[in-house]
Amino acid sequence: MTLDLLAVLVLLPVVGAVAHAFIPGRAERAHKIVALSLTTGIFILSLALVEGFQPVPGMQFEVSRNWMPALGIRYHVGIDGLSLWLIILTTFLTPIALLGSWSSIHSRVKAFQILMLLLEAGMLGVFVALDLFLFYIFWEAMLIPMYFLIGIWGHERRIYAAVKFFLYTMAGSALMLVAFIALYKTSSAHSFDILLLTQSPVAPSLQMWLFAAFALAFAIKVPMFPFHTWLPDAHVEAPTAGSVILAGVLLKMGGYGFLRLAFPLFPDAAHEFAPYIGALAVVGIVYGALVSLVQPNLKKLVAYSSVSHLGFVMLGIAAFNTTSVVGAVYQMLNHGISTGALFFCVGMLYDRRHTFAIAEYGGLKSVMPWFSSLFLLVCLSSLAVPGLNGFVGEFLIMLGSWSLSHSMVALASMGVVLAAGYVLWMVQRVLYGEVTHAVNRTLPDLSAREFAVLIPLVVLAIVMGVASPLFTRLIEPSVQSLVYETGTRMRKPSPPTRAAAAMVGGPVGERR
């Protein structure tokens, strides 16, 4: 029996959480050190996945065992190009988030570390699961630690935000569970195994219903307009680490769910729904950007910018050709890095001034030069300046989506312009000009710990901007086969519309 590296990755945080239970709560420093070193170790271990990963389609590091034979449920895990980098993103952000909240979490330090570890296990589980039941377990189990993180360590309206987050997400996935069972019943595979199910298509009429149930769950998670209303509350009220993980990883699960489950399982329905998803995505891009433009609250601005950025991801998924999907996956990673870093920066300001109001800042460039330069870099990466990571993703998405609809791409590019507007205006009000509040004159610049938090993110943003093939090389084969296979499994010979052409993937030469 080979070592099941994926199981080790998922279980290590759980083991760590159990170990924490045996350290007395008063030893706060010990808790922080143990959790940080464990998650760093997990990150290093997860790099073994990149090391051993072959740039070919199909599942790797796959393990499948009997689990609940009575219900046809197996323990089946594996990764491909879609999930590989999302796993790395998770293991990368978790230790940074722990380091970032080193001194901003004052109460119940022990519980905080335990919940962060359980959250990491849940997130990794979602990305490795290849059985619907297993997927659902992790998908839902993740809610609980996040709920506590928001509800215990959040800001003033934390309870409202935590309950709203929980209920929204649970409501979304409730029907998905029924759809899972219905899929088991109707599919000829008679299994919960995702790989088997994708190979045994369901009648197109039923596909519509099942796709709708899946799409609701994922659209809430992304979140797509108009299902996004939980996000500003959750983001603003969550503690910094919670916001970072929420934006960095949890939101990616929606897009991942569409790519891993909804599209390949229900190709006909996906083809039918794709234009609507694209339209909603574009609405989200523009709407999120416009709302960001008028936000007086720094954290809310970043939250709404997420709605806009994830609109790009969904546009890429809706277009569903190799270029656009590679772009979407890449954009998910970018958003994890950039928005994660943005939330850290906002959190650092909050640690100093205990306010998110943009009007309370101004002229920080002269007071906190190091912070200001890193913050500026992060902002530029978020608004997709060429040379930084965001540009690559958004460019690929727009390039690929051209075949879905010209007007959608045109409107989406409006979002890029608006992003420049709201980000730069915010930068101007926070960093430049005169120091308008006397208290701001004495703000300390970045501490060594804060450097250690931001530097890895900024470096990665630059590397992902200039050396994207390093990453896309491993994403592409899986995406290519996903797009191709999904296209061939469509029941109806579709009329040669533009969307249909997009479904089966353009010629390979079209990429980049």
Partner 1 sequence: MTPASLDLRPLFPAIVVAVTGLAVLLAQAFTPKGGRAPAAALSLAGLAGALVAVVVIAGGRGRGAVLATSVAADDFALFFQALILAIGIVAVLLSTSYLRETATDRGEYYALVLFAIVGMLGLVSALELVAVFVALEIMSVAVYALAGLQRDRPESQEAALKYFITGSFSSAFFLYGVALLYGLTGRTSLALIAQGLRAGGIAPAAAAAGVASAGAATALALVATALLLVGFGFKVASVPFHMWAPDAYEGAPTTVTALMAAGVKAAAFGAFLRVFLQALPSLAAHWQPAVAVLAIVTMIIGNLGALAQSNLKRMLAYSSVAHAGYLMTALVAAPGLGTEAILFYLVTYAAVNLGGFGAFAALTRSGREPVTLSDMAGLSERRPLLAAALTVFLVSLTGVPVSGGFVGKFYLFSAAVRAGYAHLAIIGMLMSVVSAYYYLRVVVAMYMEPPVGEDPWSRVGTGAALALTISTTVVLVLGVYPGPLMAWARAAAGSLR
Binding site for partner 1 (CB under 8 A): 67-71, 133, 136-138, 140-141, 143-144, 147-148, 151-152, 158-159, 162-163, 166-167, 170-171, 174-175, 177-178, 181-182, 184-185
> Shortest Cβ distance from residue 143 to partner 1 (Å)?
7
- Of 40 and 64, which CB lies nearer to partner 1 in the complex structure? 64
Which residue type, as a one-letter code, is found at position 407?
Answer: S
Within a 13 Å sphere around the CA of 46, how many CA atoms are in the beta-carbon half? Answer: 30
> Shortest Cβ distance from residue 105 to partner 1 (Å)?
15
> Shortest Cβ distance from residue 130 to partner 1 (Å)?
17
Give CA 449 to chain center in angstroms. Answer: 25
> Shortest Cβ distance from residue 271 to partner 1 (Å)?
24
3-class secondary-structure state, position 381:
helix
- Of 216 and 454, which CB lies nearer to partner 1 in the complex structure? 216
> Shortest Cβ distance from residue 59 to partner 1 (Å)?
23
> Shortest Cβ distance from residue 66 to partner 1 (Å)?
8
Beta bridge partners of 74: 66
Within a 13 Å sphere around the CA of 253, how many CA atoms are in the beta-carbon half? Answer: 28
> Shortest Cβ distance from residue 476 to partner 1 (Å)?
34
Please say whether the beta carbons of 262 and 178 come within 8 A: no
- Of 137 and 195, which CB lies nearer to partner 1 in the complex structure? 137
- Of 163 and 435, which CB lies nearer to partner 1 in the complex structure? 163
Q: Which two tokens stand for residue 6?
A: 């994926």
- Of 8 and 141, which CB lies nearer to partner 1 in the complex structure? 141
Which residue, among 110, 197, 204, has the nearest Cα to 148 in the 3D structure?
Answer: 110
Element (H, E) at 444: none
- Of 122 and 232, which CB lies nearer to partner 1 in the complex structure? 122
Which residue, among 237, 498, 464, 197, has the nearest Cα to 350 in the 3D structure?
Answer: 237
- Of 144 and 293, which CB lies nearer to partner 1 in the complex structure? 144
For residue 3, with 0-12 CB atoms within 10 Å meaning exposed, 13-18 middle and 19 or more buried, which class applies?
A: exposed
- Of 24 and 496, which CB lies nearer to partner 1 in the complex structure? 24
Place of tokens 């993110």: 457
Place of tokens 């080790």: 8
DSSP string, 50-98: HHH--SSSS-EEEEEEEEEGGGTEEEEEEE-HHHHHHHHHHHHHHHHHH
> Shortest Cβ distance from residue 185 to partner 1 (Å)?
5
